[in-house]
Amino acid sequence: MGKENKSADPAANEIAKIDAIKEIIFGQNMRQYDKEFNDLRDYINTNLNAIDKEFTAVRKAIDDLDKKLNAKMESNQQKLLEELAKIDEKKLDRKKLGKMLMDIGEKISS
């Protein structure tokens, strides 16, 4: 145990010496720098919080837009299926319907 205390003391002593030298050399300037760094940290934290709130609002807006878009697509799909069901099989022109569906598919994929 005695050796552990002796080995720890020189390190603490060295740190104390370094702090004393910094105080002698820089003194008032170090305190001013510390104050400015603390002010800068506060400014950065304030801005990070504001950015986080804005990001959360944008994320919510995107989620809402996604839900609305999905609901609209489902509604349009349901309307299309209803209209297709109304078409009388005798009057159905399969080539025109096939072309129409291919055109819709191409518009959706582009």
Looking at residue 5, what is its pLDDT? 45
The answer to whether 6 and 13 have CB atoms below 8 angstroms apart is no
* pLDDT tens-digit map of 59-84: 999 999 999 999 999 999 998 888 87
> Where are the chain's structural domains?
27-109
* pLDDT tens-digit map of 39-64: 999 999 999 999 999 999 999 999 99
Rounded to whole angstroms, how far apart are CA atoms 82 and 79?
Answer: 5
pTM of the model: 0.46
Rounded to whole angstroms, how far apart are CA atoms 26 and 13?
Answer: 20
End-to-end Cα, the chain, rounded Å: 76
* pLDDT tens-digit map of 7-41: 557 888 888 888 888 878 877 777 888 899 999 99
Helices (H), the chain: 2-26, 28-86, 94-109
